């Protein structure tokens, strides 16, 4: 398997490599805006892609959850705008240990261009090591849009998830915080709780510490094995809206299970449907 993570040392040595395209994906559930943080200081040469406008479609009636997958033309246009080509190495980062950058990596895989990588430790590690930031937004010449080929077999909708939950061997992993999974707090989606039968796998548990680097593959394999991954024939990952679930898919891939699926609508879709059950605790 190719390396899906790059180190801060590696990135520092490749800041001026024209093939390496650094992408800031910072995003926050409420309060701050990623674009404002990017303008205040980012890794030199980094472009910015926004979860809401570049890496998702607009939510609305008939759309699955708060962050539906972007239409192919939108994603291709975003990549073209920042100069990505089929020969690029697209390194995404954030300040949450890759919890948001994982979405960019996953979308590149989903749309048939496995050129994505995630900066291990993200901006937190970069800054802790005293590495430079800049506020200048460098102009990158746009590139012709890449040919986009979705792989819908990597995604499940809520109807398919209901079917899978009835089948032995299905493991559903909920990447939200334990408090949201248990239904103790819910400030954004329609109902508190979780999908019946889902197991809680907070994305922070993939890291050595808060906003830190990924655990070694063996430790990730042990983590997911304890949740039932070794016995599962189908693994489905979700979170609140389908963004941070991609971090669990990346971690599972590092652990040797590259076949995990994404429930696109995630809890934001499930909770909004009163005909679907929810559990608390």
- 144-173 pLDDT, tens digit per residue, is 999 999 999 999 999 999 999 999 999 999
pLDDT at 62 over 90: no
Range of the domain at 240: 152-270
3-state SS track over 104-163: HHHHHHHCCCCCEEEECCHHHHHHHCCCCCECCCCCCCCCCCCCCCCCHHHEECHHHHHH
48 and 11 in a common domain: yes
* pTM assigned to the model: 0.97
Q: Quick one: average pLDDT of 186-211?
A: 96
Q: pLDDT digit string (tens) for 2-15?
A: 699 999 999 999 99
How far apart, in whole angstroms, are the C-alpha atoms of residue 86 and residue 192?
Answer: 42
- Within-domain flag for 37: yes
Q: Quick one: average pLDDT of 53-62?
A: 94
- Within-domain flag for 280: no
How far apart, in whole angstroms, are the C-alpha atoms of residue 114 and residue 150?
Answer: 12
Residue 19 in 3-state DSSP?
coil
Q: Quick one: average pLDDT of 199-217?
A: 97
102 and 204 in a common domain: no
For the chain, the residue count is 281
13 and 123 in a common domain: yes
List beta partners, residue 48: 24
63 and 27 in a common domain: yes
* Residue 19: CATH number of its domain: 3.40.250.10
pLDDT at 1 over 60: no
Q: Quick one: average pLDDT of 25-29?
A: 94
Q: Nearest 5°: CA angle at 62, between 260 and 51? A: 55
156 and 124 in a common domain: no
Burial of 177 (0-12, 13-18, 19+ CB in 10 A): middle
Domain boundary residue, one of 93, 128, 163:
128
- Residue 2's pLDDT is 62
Q: In this structure, how many other beta carbons lie within 10 angstroms of the beta carbon of residue 195?
A: 24
How far apart, in whole angstroms, are the C-alpha atoms of residue 133 and residue 123?
Answer: 10
- Within-domain flag for 144: no
Task: Supply the mean pLDDT for the chain.
Answer: 97
- Within-domain flag for 48: yes
Number of domains in the chain: 2
- Residue 29's pLDDT is 85
- Within-domain flag for 169: yes
pLDDT at 74 over 60: yes
- Within-domain flag for 220: yes
124 and 25 in a common domain: yes
- Residue 216's pLDDT is 97
Residues belonging to the active site: 239
Q: What are phi and psi of 89, to 5 degrees?
A: -115, 105
124 and 32 in a common domain: yes
């Amino acid at each position: 398997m190719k390396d899906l993570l790059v180190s801060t040392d590696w990135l520092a040595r490749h800041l001026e490599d024209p093939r390496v395209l650094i992408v800031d994906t910072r995003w926050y559930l409420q309060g701050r805006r990623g674009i404002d943080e990017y303008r205040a200081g980012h890794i030199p040469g980094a472009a910015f892609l926004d979860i809401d406008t570049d890496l998702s479609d607009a939510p609305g009636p008939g759309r699955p959850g708060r962050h539906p997958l972007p239409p192919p033309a939108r994603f291709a246009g975003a990549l073209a705008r920042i100069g990505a080509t089929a020969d690029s190495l697209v390194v995404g980062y954030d300040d949450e240990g890759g919890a948001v950058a994982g979405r960019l990596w996953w979308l590149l895989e989903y749309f048939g261009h496995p050129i994505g990588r995630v900066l291990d430790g993200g901006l937190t590690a970069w800054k802790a090591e005293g590495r430079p930031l800049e506020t200048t937004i460098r102009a990158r010449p746009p590139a012709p849009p890449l040919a986009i080929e979705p792989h819908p077999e990597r995604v499940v909708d809520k109807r398919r998830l209901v079917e899978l939950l009835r089948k032995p061997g299905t493991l559903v992993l909920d990447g939200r915080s334990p408090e949201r999974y248990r239904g103790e707090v819910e400030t954004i989606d329609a109902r508190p709780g979780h999908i019946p039968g889902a197991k809680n796998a907070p994305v922070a548990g993939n890291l050595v510490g808060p906003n830190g680097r990924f655990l070694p593959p063996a430790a990730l394999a042990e983590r997911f094995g304890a949740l039932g991954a070794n016995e599962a024939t189908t693994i489905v990952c979700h979170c609140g809206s389908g963004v941070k679930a991609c971090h669990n898919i990346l971690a599972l891939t590092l652990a040797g299970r590259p076949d995990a699926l994404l429930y696109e609508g995630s809890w934001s879709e499930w909770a909004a449907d009163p005909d679907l059950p929810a559990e608390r605790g």
